[in-house]
């Protein structure tokens, strides 16, 4: 039994010798990994396989989005049998842990060790912006799967497969004044980048369309009890809210509980009543309006294909803009790699191909602004209704 013999010998070794041998093994492994990484990144252009790195949060506060988004990307690639043109495409997933520092480390790992041709990043704004300059410097295309903050436009190799949050909120501002006929509004949003972006855009467009903002309130991110903020809101024709996640659940529930919904209609940017929070909010969400680029109820062939493919694999699948965005990101990549052809391994060429993509996304036609790299997509207005005890969006109309 040579193996037991070896174990026995190892155990007899003094601790220091064991440490030294461990250190040697670790150093050796690191050197090997370095060589391997260099080899793959050089061999990339001649090899027919294109690797795509994907940075998603699997742990930390946004950890819930990683797995479903991975499933949607994989499912979209599987529809095309993991092939784009003459290339075989392969996805490499890494956990960005809802942390900008980790995202940077993993982005470097994807480029250096895995030799990826492009990186899908990220589901959180801070990680997206932190990874941006690193990938741009190395001419590796970056593709954002969901509405990312508007700080990527300065990088020619970056693109986002969704309009900015501010874009959709601005459209809602115009729509609220012009079509919904509201003259005055109260604006209440989370006190961080996202909240301020949607609040500012809504306010700007609402005022430009002749509306008046009576008051703006910014409760901190992670507020669970909005009661005191709500009771101090002045009266206006409408309230615009910019909250996401747990904050959205608490806000909409308490807005109803404190009797405000009866006095002042509530509208907001999409995440306020996304499918992921809708049934947790409960009846309080009925009648709330939202401006957004995606709803699972949109009647497009691509949305039906997306939902039926995902539901076939997982019957309890809940579609949302996170997974629809991951699906559309897959479509963009497959299309761009096929069009880039032999040049798909060249970062600048692939980035240009991505920005030139015109495809059908679950929410309708998707193309990119050649100047900024952000997606050009329709924006819809819909309200929440209750059907057979289940809450759902309805009456989605495209905003002008």
Which residues would be at the binding site for another protein (CB under 8 A)?
Answer: 59, 61, 63-64, 191, 217-220, 222-225, 227-229, 231-232, 245-246, 249-250, 253-254, 257-260, 276-277, 280-282
When the beta carbons of 245 and 364 are compared against another protein, the nearer one is 245
Cα of first residue to Cα of last residue in the chain, in angstroms, is 77
| Residue 229 main-chain phi, psi, to 5 deg | -65, -45
Alpha-carbon distances, residue 308 vs 181, 187, 276, 292, 363 (angstroms): 37, 37, 18, 22, 15
Minimum CB separation of residue 13 from another protein in Å reads 28
When the beta carbons of 146 and 159 are compared against another protein, the nearer one is 146
When the beta carbons of 178 and 191 are compared against another protein, the nearer one is 191
Minimum CB separation of residue 57 from another protein in Å reads 10
When the beta carbons of 151 and 282 are compared against another protein, the nearer one is 282
When the beta carbons of 125 and 141 are compared against another protein, the nearer one is 125
Alpha-carbon distances, residue 51 vs 7, 54, 92, 278, 390 (angstroms): 40, 10, 7, 36, 41
The 3-class secondary structure across 121-146, one letter per residue, is: CCCCHHHHHHHHHHHHHCCCCEEECC
**Calpha distance 87→83 (Å, rounded):** 6
When the beta carbons of 64 and 338 are compared against another protein, the nearer one is 64
Minimum CB separation of residue 191 from another protein in Å reads 8
Minimum CB separation of residue 226 from another protein in Å reads 8
Minimum CB separation of residue 173 from another protein in Å reads 22
CA 99 to chain centre: 14
Minimum CB separation of residue 95 from another protein in Å reads 13
**Calpha distance 333→233 (Å, rounded):** 46
In degrees, rounded to 5, the angle at the alpha carbon of residue 275 between the alpha carbons of residues 124 and 202 is 65
For residue 79, the SS3 value is helix
**Calpha distance 265→252 (Å, rounded):** 11
E strands, 158-237, in order: 158-160, 184-189, 212-217
Minimum CB separation of residue 246 from another protein in Å reads 3
When the beta carbons of 280 and 300 are compared against another protein, the nearer one is 280
């Amino acid at each position: 039994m040579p193996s037991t013999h070896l174990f026995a010998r190892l155990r007899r070794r003094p601790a220091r010798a064991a440490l030294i041998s461990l250190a040697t093994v670790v150093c050796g492994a690191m050197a090997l990994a370095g060589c391997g990484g260099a080899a793959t990144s050089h061999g990339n252009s001649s090899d027919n396989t294109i690797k795509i790195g994907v940075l998603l949060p699997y742990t930390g506060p946004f950890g819930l989005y990683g797995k479903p988004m991975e499933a949607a990307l994989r499912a979209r690639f599987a529809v095309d049998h993991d092939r784009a043109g003459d290339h075989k495409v392969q996805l490499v997933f890494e956990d960005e842990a809802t942390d900008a520092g980790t995202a940077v480390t993993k982005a470097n790992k994807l480029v250096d060790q895995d030799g990826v041709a492009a990186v899908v990043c990220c589901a959180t704004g801070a990680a997206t912006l932190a990874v941006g300059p690193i990938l741009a410097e190395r001419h590796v295309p970056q593709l954002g799967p969901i509405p990312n903050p508007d700080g990527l436009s300065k990088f020619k190799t970056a693109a986002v497969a969704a309009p900015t949050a501010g874009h959709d909120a601005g459209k809602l501002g115009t729509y609220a004044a012009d079509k919904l006929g509201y003259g005055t509004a109260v604006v209440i949003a989370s006190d961080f980048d996202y909240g301020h972006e949607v609040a500012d855009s809504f306010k700007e467009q609402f005022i430009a369309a002749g509306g008046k903002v009576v008051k703006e309130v910014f409760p901190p991110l992670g507020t669970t009890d909005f009661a005191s903020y709500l009771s101090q809101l002045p009266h206006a024709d409408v309230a615009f809210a910019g909250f996401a996640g747990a904050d959205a659940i608490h806000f909409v529930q308490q807005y109803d509980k404190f009797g405000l919904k009866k006095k002042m209609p509530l509208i907001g940017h999409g995440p306020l009543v996304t499918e992921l929070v809708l049934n947790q909010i409960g009846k309080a969400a009925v009648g709330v309006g939202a401006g957004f680029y995606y709803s699972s109820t949109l009647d497009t062939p691509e949305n039906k294909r997306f939902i039926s493919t995902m539901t076939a694999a997982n019957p309890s699948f809940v579609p949302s803009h996170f997974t629809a965005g991951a699906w559309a990101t897959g479509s963009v990549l497959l299309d761009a790699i096929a069009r880039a052809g032999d040049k798909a391994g060249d970062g600048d060429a692939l980035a240009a191909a991505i920005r030139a993509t015109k495809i059908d996304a679950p929410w309708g036609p998707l193309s990119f602004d050649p100047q900024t790299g952000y997606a050009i997509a329709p924006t819809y207005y819909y309200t929440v209704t209750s059907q057979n005890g289940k809450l759902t969006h309805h009456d989605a109309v495209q905003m002008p």
